[in-house]
Amino acid sequence: MVRYTLEEKIEICEIYHRTRSIVSTQREFRRKFGKQPPSKCMILRQQTKFRETGSVKRREYKRARPVLTQTKMDEILEFFFVNPKMSLYRAAQQLQMSKTSLWRAVREELKVYPYKIQILEAKQPGDKKKRLNFALETLALIHLDDNVLSNVWISDEAYFCLSGTVNKQNMRFWGLENPHVVHEQPLHDVKVLVWCAMSEHGIIGPYFFDGTVNSERYREMLNTFFFSKLRALRIPLATAWFQQDEATAHCSNRN
């Protein structure tokens, strides 16, 4: 199917208006533009459109939005109040309306938003009491010494991948065709374990563990690296509060 530009459509109308001949219009059009001339039906259709509208531009068709009555809006709001976890696709099926209309109703009209569920650590029966006791003890220490929080060192370690791991959700390639971009990575990533500690005095680290960490390597890091850094900062060990989690490597009976 040949498509004609606005300039070519105008020329078709002018040639036909001047010659009143389908054949002459086709010949002159081919000679001027060097492309397949319009058919008889197309020439007459452009003439009719010009007489009716005064233009040969393509008509713009706008699809009317379905009207959402107040009764339907109340039904949608009540439905999601009873079924807050249902997907928009399933909800549209049960409400007997299109997904697009339902999306417009909940987002633009009702101002309802899809919130993601939060994943929290499961609490044990005694956790609340432990946290309350910890908070009370911390408040008591702060009342005795205003510099307690300044001397708290928060520490942890984490693995970092060395092979350039890519998150597919954050990578896009825009184009007219699928470029079939591939990112190759090993089945088992090469990782490095890094530790650091921070407080109001600054950051101590990073410290790179050779292989996995156990209690012996963790103790060695504290004695040879962390404590020496504290002494270099002229921070007495007796005034420093050290925070760590309950990982197995952080527990040892040795001093």
What mean pLDDT comes out for the span 181-203? Answer: 83
Q: What pLDDT score does 1 carry?
A: 66
Instruction: Answer for the pair 69, 43: CB distance below 8 angstroms, yes or no.
Output: no
What mean pLDDT comes out for the span 184-201? Answer: 83
In a domain, 179, yes or no: yes
Q: Does 136 score more than 90 pLDDT? A: yes
- Six-digit token pair at 170? 């954050």
162 three-state secondary structure: coil
Percentage of residues in the chain having pLDDT higher than 90 = 8
Q: What pLDDT score does 194 carry?
A: 92
What mean pLDDT comes out for the span 118-127? Answer: 83
Instruction: Identify the residue whose tokens are 């942890």.
Output: 156
Same domain? 245 vs 151: yes
Q: Find the helix or strand (DSSP H, E) in which 144 lies.
A: helix 127-144
Q: How confident is the model at residue 66 (pLDDT cuts 50, 70, 90)?
A: low
Structurally, the chain folds into a number of domains equal to: 3
Q: What pLDDT score does 196 carry?
A: 93
Same domain? 176 vs 237: yes
Parent domain of 172: 146-250
Same domain? 33 vs 95: no
Instruction: Answer for the pair 154, 199: CB distance below 8 angstroms, yes or no.
Output: yes
Same domain? 92 vs 30: no
Same domain? 29 vs 90: no
Q: What pLDDT score does 207 carry?
A: 92
In a domain, 122, yes or no: no
Domain CATH code at residue 184: 3.30.420.10
Secondary structure string (H, E, C) spanning 99-114: HHHHHHHHHHHCCCCC
Q: What pLDDT score does 164 carry?
A: 67
Largest Cα–Cα separation, the chain: 107
Q: What is the pLDDT of residues 195-243, one digit of tens each?
A: 999 998 889 989 998 878 888 889 889 989 999 998 888 888 888 888 8
CA geometry: angle 122, 124, 127, nearest 5 deg: 110
- pLDDT: is 185 or 105 the higher one? 105
| Beta-sheet pairing, 152-161 with 241-243 | parallel
Q: Does 133 score more than 90 pLDDT? A: yes
Instruction: Answer for the pair 239, 151: CB distance below 8 angstroms, yes or no.
Output: yes
Instruction: Identify the residue whose tokens are 């049960």.
Output: 94
